[in-house]
Amino acid sequence: MIRRFAGAKGVELVADVGGDPAAPTIILLHGGGQTRHSWGGAMRQLVLRGYQVINLDARGHGDSQWAADGDYTLEVLAQDLESVIGTLRSRPALVGASMGGATALLVAGKRASSLAAALILVDVVPRIDTDGANKIRSFMRSGAEGFNTLEEAADAVAAYNPHRPRPKSNLGLMKNLRLRADGRLYWHWDPRVLQQARHAEPPLFADRLNSAAEQVRIPTLLVRGLKSDIVTEAAVADFRFHLPHLEVFDVSGAGHMVAGDKNDAFNQGVFEFLQRRLPPHAAAPRVGLEQG
């Protein structure tokens, strides 16, 4: 089912919602330049395991509205997430990849009484590798002029992520592309995301995020791709200094796009954590949602 939420500054957010509304809720938050479709496999499995799932398109991405003022800062993304959480009857688990993970961390560490019941960060830490960050930005800029064909778009993805086997069909990419009036295909996100002076993908707010991490008291898992060029051993150690109870699940053979690279292994780590920390039969009380 598609549902619409009111985000900050009047921006409409679109999400796929599935599962029992009385069950614990999982909010899935994709990375910059992606859409909610990147979580398709994980969402299906989470619903099957007894959770309600909200698979959200961030503002300026997918089917959510583009911001009229071009504001895609981490702060406004966090406000959007808080708006979604505010519609729920219990505290959700937040699962965020890259930009989505930074957003979730900021929200989870914002209040003494957390808005979330658990936090899962997918290949993102406050101090990410600079070269890896530049690689992401280069990929996001690579489609600025659009593509003549679906094959050209697939080639761009393969160049960014060469270790992932190419699919037999490129048709799945159309979920992340739109055909414009000039006859070319464009990634379905607002290019002004990259014009932010302090944009959120990859996050440049290391100190801000570490400050948030120091306030996090809920169970937290980092799912890391062992081939990631974003998350280093040193960065994980630094993150654990600020968030001592951090759990880490390593996914062999996966890069930055962990869920897409090794979906089964990714799901295994996430499900095991949720089973311990927020089992399907135990929704977390709605604590702290009314506090300012």
Q: Is residue 282 part of a domain?
A: no
228 with 167, same domain? Answer: no
The answer on 137 and 244 residing in a single domain is: no
Residues 48 and 123 occupy one common structural domain: yes
Answer yes or no: is 28 within a domain. Answer: yes
pLDDT in tens, the chain (292 residues): 999 999 999 999 999 999 999 999 999 999 988 999 999 999 999 999 999 999 999 999 999 999 999 999 999 999 999 999 999 999 999 999 999 999 999 999 987 668 999 999 999 999 988 888 788 888 888 788 899 999 999 998 888 877 777 888 888 888 889 899 999 999 888 988 887 644 444 445 788 899 999 999 999 999 998 888 889 999 999 999 999 999 999 998 888 888 877 888 898 999 999 999 999 986 666 544 333 3
Domain boundary among 142, 170, 193: 193
How many domains does the chain contain in total?
2
Same domain? 26 vs 100? yes
pTM of the model: 0.90
Same domain, 47 and 117: yes
Buried/exposed code over 242-261 (b: 16+ C-beta within 10 A; e: otherwise): bbeebbebebeebbbbbbbb
Q: Are 134 and 140 in contact (CB under 8 A)?
A: no
**Residue 165: partners with Cβ closer than 8 Å, 6 or more residues away:** none
Do 69 and 210 belong together in one domain? yes
CATH no. for residue 51?
Answer: 3.40.50.1820
Q: Let me know whether 47 and 104 are in one domain.
A: yes
Same domain, 110 and 200: yes
Q: How many CB atoms lie within 10 A of CB 149?
A: 11
Task: Judge contact between 203 and 209, C-beta under 8 A.
Answer: yes
β-sheet bridge partners, residue 224: 250
Tell me the Cα Rg of the chain. Answer: 18
Considering the domain boundaries, does residue 271 fall inside one? yes
Residue 42 to residue 62: CA distance in whole angstroms: 18
Question: What 3 state SS string does the chain have?
Answer: CEEEEECHHHCEEEEEEECCCCCCEEEEECCCCCCHHHHHHHHHHHHHCCCEEEEECCCCECCCCCCCCCCCCHHHHHHHHHHHHCCCCCECEEEEECHHHHHHHHHHCCCCCCCCCEEEEECCCCCCCHHHHHHHHHHHHHCCCCECCHHHHHHHHHHHCCCCCCCCCCHHHHHHEEECCCCCEEECECHHHHHCCCCCCCCCCHHHHHHHHCCCCCCEEEEEECCCCCCCHHHHHHHHHHCCCCEEEEECCCCCCHHHHCHHHHHHHHHHHHHHHCCCCCCECCCCCCCC
* Domain ranges, residue 167: 132-193
Beta bridge partners of 15: 3, 56
